[in-house]
């Protein structure tokens, strides 16, 4: 199942397994939460996530913020 599937079921928080290019729905729902802001992200708008951290992000600024937090220069 991916973002283009229309019958995602449920009206609550979905649980996903994030892959490199797609995600798998483990528990149907309508949205996930941004790991940085806590904002609800409808599955049809989900475009940014980390397979490494298994987190969703509302957009590029949030994804970049988390990447910088988890990949310090060193």
- Domain range for 64 is 15-70
Question: For residue 24, what pLDDT is reported?
Answer: 98
Q: pLDDT-derived band of residue 10, with 50, 70 and 90 as boundaries?
A: low
Please say whether the beta carbons of 56 and 36 come within 8 A: no
Q: Specify if 64 maps to a domain.
A: yes
Please say whether the beta carbons of 44 and 3 come within 8 A: yes
Number of folded domains in the chain?
Answer: 1
State the first-to-last Cα distance of the chain, in angstroms, to the nearest integer: 38
Q: Specify if 62 maps to a domain.
A: yes
pTM of the model: 0.82
Q: Specify if 10 maps to a domain.
A: no
Question: For residue 1, what pLDDT is reported?
Answer: 47
Q: Specify if 9 maps to a domain.
A: no
Q: What whole-number distance in Å separates Cα of residue 37 and Cα of residue 23?
A: 20
Given a cut of 60, whether residue 7 has pLDDT beyond it is no
pLDDT by residue (tens digit) across 15-74?
Answer: 999 999 999 999 999 999 999 999 999 999 999 999 999 999 999 999 999 999 999 886
Q: String of b and e for 43-70 (b: at least 16 CB within 10 Å)? A: beebebbeeeeebbbbeeebbeebeeee
């Amino acid at each position: 199942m991916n973002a283009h599937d229309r019958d995602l079921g449920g009206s609550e928080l979905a649980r996903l397994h994030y892959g490199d290019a797609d995600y798998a729905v483990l528990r149907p729902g309508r949205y996930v939460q941004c790991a940085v802001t806590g904002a609800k992200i409808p599955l049809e708008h989900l475009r940014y996530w980390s397979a490494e951290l298994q987190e969703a992000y509302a957009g590029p600024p949030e994804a970049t913020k988390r990447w910088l937090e988890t990949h310090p220069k060193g």
